[in-house]
């Protein structure tokens, strides 16, 4: 089913996954007059029901669905024009394949592969699809990749791109928490990190090198570490000429210590173990003891920042173009009853979905953030209470 453009009588969108990011995306899409039906689908429907009650919009409905159940998801997507997948990344491949079966245009927030070596196979699998499969459209990856393209376009040539994700969040009464999927965060920071250096991909150990990065105020200086993120792979492949790419995320020293301990004792593993005759996934047990991000809404203070630095040559001089955005957790709560992480990821995904719905993204098959118009994305983003700042510095 090809996407319906503005002017068609109806457009049905399924928001699959109504956690901290999916809820924001859904609320943004609910405001779009071209979307006439919006289905909020999750295994745990309490948060989706609260959103539907709060915004009181007739186009919304809530259904319970198990994303691991192929037949249930297929019934959900049949007849829909678009699905936005905001569930844990390891489910995305299955949902994408079902979307291809039902010819439902697809958007997600993270790449639907377990290993980067699978990416070429993914492109081949999607190349004949009569739908658009827009992947990695969260904040990072997603918005960060688009910032990188925007910055690179301002240079005559680009040599290096760095992405920095920082957050000064605090939550009274909580010592160990995550502002988005705790499972995906812990998994990310306990596996080797990819770095594109001198035109070649290499890896470093988990939480290998602590560097202080000066984020824009009021975030300020934070300890950062390389982690394995889609940007390193996508930017190095789709942005012409770049020789060095890396991604760093700010990790609190206490959180880093705990994450390293979990990894060393095996509690960061997703491989089931036998405990008194029952199969337990160690990391799932750890996550079960942590607060859900949706349960911390309204309790978090501070700011989140995404910064991208593209360095290269401009008019014969070495130049850096820096692009960034900031969002406070308090402002995110005021705008969408969320935290800053949820707001930035969900809003970026919503912009991607709206661009697809509006016909601003027309490619079929697999589409990555580097392949969509950066200026149009930033223009739409700025209309959703997200200011994008930039600075050009001669080095």
Q: Is residue 3 part of a domain?
A: no
| Mean pLDDT to the nearest integer, 328-335 | 96
Do 377 and 388 fall into the same domain? no
pLDDT attached to residue 276: 93
Is residue 94 predicted with pLDDT exceeding 50?
A: yes
Do 116 and 176 fall into the same domain? no
Task: Give which of 227, 136, 127 is closest to 186, Cα–Cα.
Answer: 227
Q: What is the C-alpha separation between 283 and 344, in angstroms, rounded?
A: 26
Least confident of 25-34, 46-55, 293-302: 293-302
Paired residues of 311 in beta bridges: 160, 320
| Mean pLDDT to the nearest integer, 203-215 | 95
pLDDT attached to residue 3: 43
Is residue 296 predicted with pLDDT exceeding 90?
A: no
pLDDT attached to residue 15: 97
Do 113 and 207 fall into the same domain? no
Do 303 and 174 fall into the same domain? yes
- For residue 178, the tally of other CB atoms under 10 A from its CB is 20
Residue 84: pLDDT band (50, 70, 90) is: very high
Is residue 2 predicted with pLDDT exceeding 50?
A: no
Q: Which domain covers residue 154, as residue numbers?
A: 143-338+384-394
Q: Is residue 17 part of a domain?
A: yes
Mean pLDDT of the chain: 93
Residue 9: pLDDT band (50, 70, 90) is: low
Q: Is 287 helix (H, G, I), strand (E, B) or coil?
A: helix
| Mean pLDDT to the nearest integer, 282-309 | 93
Do 161 and 235 fall into the same domain? yes
Q: Is residue 6 part of a domain?
A: no
Q: Is residue 35 part of a domain?
A: yes
| Mean pLDDT to the nearest integer, 315-342 | 96
Residue 1: pLDDT band (50, 70, 90) is: very low
Is residue 8 predicted with pLDDT exceeding 80?
A: no
Q: Is residue 1 part of a domain?
A: no
| Mean pLDDT to the nearest integer, 299-316 | 97
Structure-token pair, residue 301: 């203070």
CATH of the domain at 81: 3.40.50.720
Least confident of 14-18, 171-175, 360-364: 171-175
- Find out whether 213 and 222 touch, Cβ atoms under 8 Å: yes
CATH of the domain at 315: 3.30.360.10
Is residue 6 predicted with pLDDT exceeding 90?
A: no
Report the share of the chain in percent with pLDDT over 90.
85
Do 243 and 310 fall into the same domain? yes
Q: Is residue 117 part of a domain?
A: yes
Do 110 and 220 fall into the same domain? no
Do 210 and 186 fall into the same domain? yes
Q: Is residue 4 part of a domain?
A: no
pTM of the model: 0.93
What would the pLDDT profile of 113-155 be if each residue is shown by its tens digit?
A: 877 888 889 999 998 899 999 999 999 999 999 999 999 999 9
pLDDT attached to residue 173: 87
pLDDT attached to residue 265: 96
Residues near 62 by beta carbon (within 8 Å), at least 6 away in sequence:
39, 40, 41, 45, 48, 49, 52
Is residue 4 predicted with pLDDT exceeding 50?
A: no
Sequence-distant contacts of 111-114: CB under 8 A, at least 24 apart: 111/135, 111/136, 111/141, 111/230, 111/234, 114/90
Do 128 and 153 fall into the same domain? no
Number of domains, the chain: 2
Do 52 and 102 fall into the same domain? yes
- Find out whether 81 and 4 touch, Cβ atoms under 8 Å: yes
Residue 294: pLDDT band (50, 70, 90) is: confident
Do 377 and 390 fall into the same domain? no
Do 105 and 208 fall into the same domain? no
Q: Is residue 7 part of a domain?
A: no
Strand (E) or helix (H) holding 354: helix 340-357
């Amino acid at each position: 089913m090809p996407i319906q453009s503005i002017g068609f009588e109806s457009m049905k969108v399924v928001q699959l996954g109504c956690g901290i990011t999916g809820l924001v995306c859904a609320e943004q899409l609910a405001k779009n007059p071209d979307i006439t039906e919006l289905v909020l689908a999750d295994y745990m429907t309490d948060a989706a029901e609260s959103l539907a009650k709060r915004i009181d919009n007739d186009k919304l409905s809530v259904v319970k669905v198990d994303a691991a159940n192929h037949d249930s998801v297929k019934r959900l997507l049949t007849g829909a024009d678009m699905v936005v997948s905001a569930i844990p990344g390891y489910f995305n491949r299955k949902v994408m394949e079902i979307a291809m079966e039902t010819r439902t245009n697809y958007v997600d927030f993270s790449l639907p592969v377990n290993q980067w070596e699978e990416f070429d196979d993914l492109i081949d699998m999607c190349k004949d699809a009569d739908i658009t499969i827009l992947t990695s459209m969260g904040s990072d990856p997603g918005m960060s990749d688009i910032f990188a393209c925007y910055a690179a376009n301002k240079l005559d040539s680009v040599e290096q791109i760095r992405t920095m994700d920082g957050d000064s969040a605090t939550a009274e009464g909580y010592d160990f928490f995550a502002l988005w999927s705790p499972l995906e965060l812990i998994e990310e920071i306990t596996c080797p990190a990819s770095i594109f250096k001198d035109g070649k991909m290499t890896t470093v150990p988990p939480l290998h090198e602590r560097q202080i990065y000066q984020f824009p105020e009021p975030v300020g200086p934070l300890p950062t570490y390389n982690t394995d993120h889609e940007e390193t792979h996508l930017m190095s492949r789709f942005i012409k000429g770049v020789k060095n790419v890396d991604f760093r995320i700010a990790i609190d020293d206490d959180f880093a210590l705990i994450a390293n301990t979990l990894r060393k004792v095996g509690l960061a593993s997703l491989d089931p173990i036998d405990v008194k005759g029952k199969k337990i996934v160690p990391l799932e047990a750890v996550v079960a003891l942590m607060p859900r991000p949706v349960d911390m809404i309204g309790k978090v203070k501070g700011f989140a920042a995404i910064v991208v630095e593209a360095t290269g040559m401009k008019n014969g001089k070495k130049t850096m173009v820096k692009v960034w955005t900031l969002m406070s957790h308090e402002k995110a709560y005021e705008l969408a009853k969320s935290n800053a992480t949820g707001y930035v990821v969900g809003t970026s995904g919503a912009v991607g979905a709206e661009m697809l719905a509006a016909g601003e993204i027309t490619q079929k098959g697999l589409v990555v953030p580097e392949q969509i118009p950066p200026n149009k994305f930033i223009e739409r983003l700025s209309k959703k209470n997200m200011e994008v700042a930039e600075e050009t510095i001669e080095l």
